[in-house]
Amino acid sequence: MTEPMVVLLVEDEPLLSLDVEDALGEEGFDVVAASSGAEGIAKFDRHKGALKALVTDVRLGLGPTGWDVARHVRTAIPTMPVIYVSGNAADDWAAHGVPNSIMIRKPFAMSQITSWLAALLDGGSSSPVPVH
């Protein structure tokens, strides 16, 4: 039996969160979902032994941003794959994103997240520029 691929999804837009969660589920990923940066950090701390990757929006309302969540995750697990999604913070990725991460601009096709996630989990390298 193979180990489940559990992904932490941090997204504050409920409909988008459900869409991404469904897309990941269809590709065989288990999802731990959070709707804020603070909740994402708490769920990471609670489930970090099981989590294999982080998919996070950058702007998450009040409190910690997606940048903050990713830095927290990488402090504990330096090699954790990170995919950021953003509509208007993508240009800040080089300055604020963690190394070896992916930026996907909104709006995006769900296949972009699932393909990049599969590639990162299979040991693929990240893109040197944001994915459009």
Q: What is the pTM of this model?
A: 0.90
Q: Which structural domain range is residue 111 located in?
A: 6-121
Confidence check: pLDDT of 130 > 60: no
Q: What pLDDT score was predicted for residue 57?
A: 96
Give percent of the chain above pLDDT 90: 74
Residue 112 lies in a domain: yes
Burial of 4 (0-12, 13-18, 19+ CB in 10 A): exposed
How distant, in Å, are the alpha carbons of 32, 123, 127 from that of 45?
12, 24, 27
Residue 127 lies in a domain: no
Residue 130 lies in a domain: no
Residue 132 lies in a domain: no
CATH at 69 = 3.40.50.2300
Q: What pLDDT score was predicted for residue 106?
A: 87
61 and 55 in contact (C-beta within 8 Å)?
Answer: no
Residue 66 lies in a domain: yes
Number of structural domains found in the chain: 1
Residue 98 lies in a domain: yes
Q: What pLDDT score was predicted for residue 124?
A: 57
